[in-house]
Amino acid sequence: MAMATSTQLSSSLFHSQITKKPFLLPPAAAPNSVHGFSTRRLKSLSLSHHSSVSASAASSAVDVTEPVKKPVRTLPFRVGHGLDLHRLEPGYPLIIGGIDIPHDRGCEAHSDGDVLLHCVVDAILGALGLPDIGQIFPDSDPKWKGAASSVFIKEAVRLMDEAGYEIGNLDATLILQRPKISPHKETIRSNLSKLLGADPSVVNVKAKTHEKVDSLGENRSIAAHTVILLMKK
Protein backbone atom coordinates (compact mmCIF):
# COMPACT_ATOMS: atom_id res chain seq x y z
CA MET A 1 0.00 0.00 0.00
CA ALA A 2 1.30 3.51 -0.84
CA MET A 3 2.75 5.51 2.06
CA ALA A 4 0.64 8.54 3.19
CA THR A 5 2.38 11.85 2.50
CA SER A 6 2.76 14.68 5.03
CA THR A 7 0.30 16.84 3.00
CA GLN A 8 -2.36 14.08 3.03
CA LEU A 9 -2.04 13.65 6.80
CA SER A 10 -2.36 17.41 7.43
CA SER A 11 -5.47 17.63 5.17
CA SER A 12 -7.14 14.72 6.98
CA LEU A 13 -6.44 16.26 10.40
CA PHE A 14 -7.92 19.65 9.26
CA HIS A 15 -11.03 17.87 7.87
CA SER A 16 -11.63 16.03 11.17
CA GLN A 17 -11.49 19.28 13.12
CA ILE A 18 -14.23 20.84 10.91
CA THR A 19 -16.54 17.79 10.75
CA LYS A 20 -15.81 16.82 14.38
CA LYS A 21 -15.03 13.30 13.19
CA PRO A 22 -12.24 11.43 14.92
CA PHE A 23 -8.94 11.49 13.07
CA LEU A 24 -7.85 8.00 12.07
CA LEU A 25 -4.35 7.15 10.90
CA PRO A 26 -4.22 5.38 7.56
CA PRO A 27 -3.55 1.62 7.70
CA ALA A 28 0.07 2.12 6.65
CA ALA A 29 0.53 4.35 9.67
CA ALA A 30 -0.68 1.87 12.26
CA PRO A 31 0.49 2.02 15.91
CA ASN A 32 3.55 -0.07 15.01
CA SER A 33 4.66 2.39 12.33
CA VAL A 34 5.62 6.05 12.05
CA HIS A 35 4.84 7.85 8.80
CA GLY A 36 4.58 4.52 7.05
CA PHE A 37 7.86 3.18 8.48
CA SER A 38 7.60 0.10 10.68
CA THR A 39 9.00 0.82 14.14
CA ARG A 40 10.75 -2.53 13.87
CA ARG A 41 12.41 -1.29 10.66
CA LEU A 42 13.31 2.01 12.35
CA LYS A 43 14.93 0.12 15.23
CA SER A 44 16.88 -1.95 12.72
CA LEU A 45 18.06 1.18 10.93
CA SER A 46 19.00 2.76 14.28
CA LEU A 47 21.01 -0.30 15.32
CA SER A 48 22.66 -0.43 11.91
CA HIS A 49 23.60 3.22 12.17
CA HIS A 50 24.89 2.71 15.72
CA SER A 51 27.02 -0.26 14.57
CA SER A 52 28.44 1.79 11.69
CA VAL A 53 29.33 4.62 14.05
CA SER A 54 30.94 2.19 16.51
CA ALA A 55 32.92 0.50 13.73
CA SER A 56 33.99 3.89 12.42
CA ALA A 57 35.11 4.96 15.89
CA ALA A 58 37.05 1.71 16.34
CA SER A 59 38.70 2.18 12.96
CA SER A 60 39.74 5.71 13.81
CA ALA A 61 41.26 4.47 17.09
CA VAL A 62 43.64 2.14 15.19
CA ASP A 63 45.87 3.24 12.34
CA VAL A 64 44.78 0.61 9.81
CA THR A 65 47.27 1.90 7.25
CA GLU A 66 50.14 0.33 9.22
CA PRO A 67 51.00 -3.21 8.02
CA VAL A 68 50.33 -5.91 10.57
CA LYS A 69 53.63 -7.52 11.59
CA LYS A 70 53.38 -11.29 11.74
CA PRO A 71 55.43 -12.96 14.47
CA VAL A 72 58.54 -14.77 13.24
CA ARG A 73 57.83 -18.49 13.22
CA THR A 74 60.15 -20.47 15.46
CA LEU A 75 60.73 -23.95 14.07
CA PRO A 76 61.62 -26.87 16.36
CA PHE A 77 64.26 -27.96 13.85
CA ARG A 78 65.90 -26.77 10.62
CA VAL A 79 67.68 -28.70 7.85
CA GLY A 80 70.53 -27.31 5.74
CA HIS A 81 72.62 -28.55 2.82
CA GLY A 82 76.13 -27.47 1.85
CA LEU A 83 78.17 -28.10 -1.30
CA ASP A 84 81.69 -26.99 -2.17
CA LEU A 85 84.22 -27.81 -4.87
CA HIS A 86 87.81 -26.65 -5.45
CA ARG A 87 90.45 -27.24 -8.07
CA LEU A 88 93.50 -29.21 -6.98
CA GLU A 89 96.79 -27.62 -8.05
CA PRO A 90 100.45 -28.29 -7.23
CA GLY A 91 102.05 -25.98 -4.69
CA TYR A 92 99.06 -25.68 -2.34
CA PRO A 93 98.47 -27.52 0.96
CA LEU A 94 95.53 -29.93 1.10
CA ILE A 95 93.55 -29.05 4.21
CA ILE A 96 90.39 -31.01 5.01
CA GLY A 97 88.39 -30.41 8.18
CA GLY A 98 91.23 -28.30 9.55
CA ILE A 99 93.72 -31.15 9.11
CA ASP A 100 96.71 -30.91 6.78
CA ILE A 101 96.62 -34.02 4.55
CA PRO A 102 99.87 -35.05 2.78
CA HIS A 103 99.39 -34.83 -1.00
CA ASP A 104 101.16 -33.50 -4.05
CA ARG A 105 98.29 -31.10 -4.72
CA GLY A 106 96.11 -28.75 -2.71
CA CYS A 107 93.05 -26.54 -3.12
CA GLU A 108 93.45 -23.33 -5.07
CA ALA A 109 91.32 -20.80 -3.17
CA HIS A 110 91.22 -17.31 -1.69
CA SER A 111 91.29 -18.74 1.84
CA ASP A 112 92.93 -22.03 2.86
CA GLY A 113 90.49 -23.87 0.55
CA ASP A 114 89.17 -26.29 3.20
CA VAL A 115 86.38 -27.86 1.13
CA LEU A 116 84.83 -29.70 4.09
CA LEU A 117 84.63 -26.70 6.44
CA HIS A 118 83.31 -24.51 3.64
CA CYS A 119 80.40 -26.81 2.89
CA VAL A 120 79.66 -27.28 6.62
CA VAL A 121 79.46 -23.49 6.99
CA ASP A 122 77.10 -23.31 4.01
CA ALA A 123 74.92 -26.06 5.51
CA ILE A 124 74.58 -24.15 8.81
CA LEU A 125 73.87 -20.86 7.05
CA GLY A 126 71.34 -22.56 4.79
CA ALA A 127 69.53 -24.12 7.73
CA LEU A 128 69.29 -20.68 9.36
CA GLY A 129 68.00 -19.12 6.13
CA LEU A 130 71.06 -16.86 5.81
CA PRO A 131 73.20 -15.91 2.76
CA ASP A 132 75.89 -18.36 1.64
CA ILE A 133 79.54 -18.30 2.68
CA GLY A 134 80.58 -16.38 -0.43
CA GLN A 135 78.34 -13.45 0.51
CA ILE A 136 79.33 -13.32 4.17
CA PHE A 137 83.06 -13.93 3.51
CA PRO A 138 83.56 -12.68 -0.08
CA ASP A 139 86.78 -13.66 -1.86
CA SER A 140 87.00 -10.04 -3.03
CA ASP A 141 87.83 -9.00 0.55
CA PRO A 142 91.62 -9.09 1.11
CA LYS A 143 91.24 -9.78 4.83
CA TRP A 144 90.14 -13.34 4.02
CA LYS A 145 93.19 -14.01 1.84
CA GLY A 146 94.73 -17.24 3.13
CA ALA A 147 92.41 -17.20 6.18
CA ALA A 148 91.93 -20.42 8.11
CA SER A 149 88.43 -21.79 7.48
CA SER A 150 88.05 -22.38 11.22
CA VAL A 151 87.27 -18.63 11.39
CA PHE A 152 84.26 -19.18 9.13
CA ILE A 153 83.10 -22.15 11.20
CA LYS A 154 83.28 -20.14 14.43
CA GLU A 155 81.16 -17.37 12.91
CA ALA A 156 78.58 -19.88 11.63
CA VAL A 157 78.40 -21.48 15.09
CA ARG A 158 77.98 -18.03 16.67
CA LEU A 159 75.07 -17.26 14.36
CA MET A 160 73.54 -20.65 15.14
CA ASP A 161 73.81 -20.05 18.91
CA GLU A 162 72.42 -16.54 18.50
CA ALA A 163 69.37 -17.97 16.72
CA GLY A 164 68.84 -20.44 19.58
CA TYR A 165 69.79 -23.65 17.78
CA GLU A 166 72.26 -26.47 18.31
CA ILE A 167 73.43 -29.32 16.09
CA GLY A 168 71.18 -32.36 16.05
CA ASN A 169 73.45 -34.27 13.68
CA LEU A 170 75.68 -33.71 10.67
CA ASP A 171 76.50 -36.00 7.76
CA ALA A 172 79.31 -35.05 5.36
CA THR A 173 80.65 -36.77 2.24
CA LEU A 174 84.03 -36.00 0.69
CA ILE A 175 84.51 -36.80 -3.01
CA LEU A 176 88.07 -37.15 -4.31
CA GLN A 177 90.14 -39.70 -6.18
CA ARG A 178 93.34 -39.24 -4.19
CA PRO A 179 94.63 -39.36 -1.51
CA LYS A 180 92.84 -42.01 0.50
CA ILE A 181 90.96 -40.39 3.38
CA SER A 182 90.45 -43.54 5.49
CA PRO A 183 93.69 -43.09 7.52
CA HIS A 184 92.68 -39.50 8.38
CA LYS A 185 88.93 -39.84 8.76
CA GLU A 186 88.73 -40.08 12.56
CA THR A 187 91.16 -37.19 13.03
CA ILE A 188 89.08 -35.06 10.66
CA ARG A 189 85.83 -36.01 12.42
CA SER A 190 87.27 -35.31 15.86
CA ASN A 191 88.56 -31.88 14.85
CA LEU A 192 85.32 -30.97 13.08
CA SER A 193 83.33 -31.93 16.20
CA LYS A 194 85.60 -29.74 18.32
CA LEU A 195 85.21 -26.74 16.00
CA LEU A 196 81.42 -27.15 16.04
CA GLY A 197 81.24 -27.72 19.79
CA ALA A 198 79.31 -30.92 19.07
CA ASP A 199 79.60 -34.43 20.42
CA PRO A 200 81.54 -36.64 17.94
CA SER A 201 78.64 -39.12 18.01
CA VAL A 202 76.45 -36.67 16.03
CA VAL A 203 79.13 -35.84 13.43
CA ASN A 204 79.72 -38.25 10.55
CA VAL A 205 82.32 -37.96 7.79
CA LYS A 206 82.38 -40.27 4.74
CA ALA A 207 84.66 -40.32 1.70
CA LYS A 208 84.35 -41.79 -1.77
CA THR A 209 86.09 -41.66 -5.12
CA HIS A 210 84.46 -40.52 -8.35
CA GLU A 211 85.41 -43.67 -10.25
CA LYS A 212 87.94 -41.75 -12.38
CA VAL A 213 85.11 -39.74 -13.97
CA ASP A 214 85.46 -36.00 -14.80
CA SER A 215 87.75 -33.61 -12.88
CA LEU A 216 87.03 -35.28 -9.53
CA GLY A 217 87.97 -38.72 -10.81
CA GLU A 218 91.04 -37.35 -12.59
CA ASN A 219 92.44 -35.86 -9.36
CA ARG A 220 91.96 -32.31 -10.64
CA SER A 221 89.36 -31.29 -8.05
CA ILE A 222 87.82 -32.17 -4.71
CA ALA A 223 84.21 -31.77 -3.56
CA ALA A 224 82.15 -32.15 -0.41
CA HIS A 225 78.45 -32.38 0.47
CA THR A 226 77.01 -31.80 3.95
CA VAL A 227 73.54 -32.21 5.39
CA ILE A 228 72.88 -30.80 8.85
CA LEU A 229 69.99 -30.89 11.29
CA LEU A 230 69.67 -28.01 13.76
CA MET A 231 67.48 -28.43 16.84
CA LYS A 232 65.90 -25.66 18.90
CA LYS A 233 67.59 -25.41 22.30
Write the pLDDT tens digit of every residue in 174-215.
999 999 999 999 999 999 999 999 999 999 999 999 999 999
* 179, 219 contact by CB (below 8 A): no
Cβ within 8 Å of residue 155, ≥6 positions away: 121, 136, 137
Domain range for residue 108?
Answer: 90-232
Domain count of the fold of the chain: 1
Ranges of beta strands (E only) in 33-105 are 33-34, 37-38, 77-89, 94-96, 99-101
* Confidence tier at 67 by pLDDT (50, 70, 90): low
Q: Is residue 158 part of a domain?
A: yes
The CATH number that applies at residue 122 is: 3.30.1330.50
Structural domain contains residue 140: yes
In this predicted structure, what is the pLDDT of residue 72? 55
Question: Which is more confidently placed, 17 or 133?
Answer: 133
- d(CA 150, CA 157) in angstroms, rounded, equals 10
Q: Say whether pLDDT at 142 is over 60.
A: yes
What is the pLDDT confidence band of residue 139, given thresholds at 50, 70 and 90?
Answer: confident
List, for residues 98-126, the tens digit of each pLDDT value.
999 999 999 998 889 999 999 999 999 99
**pTM metric for this prediction:** 0.68
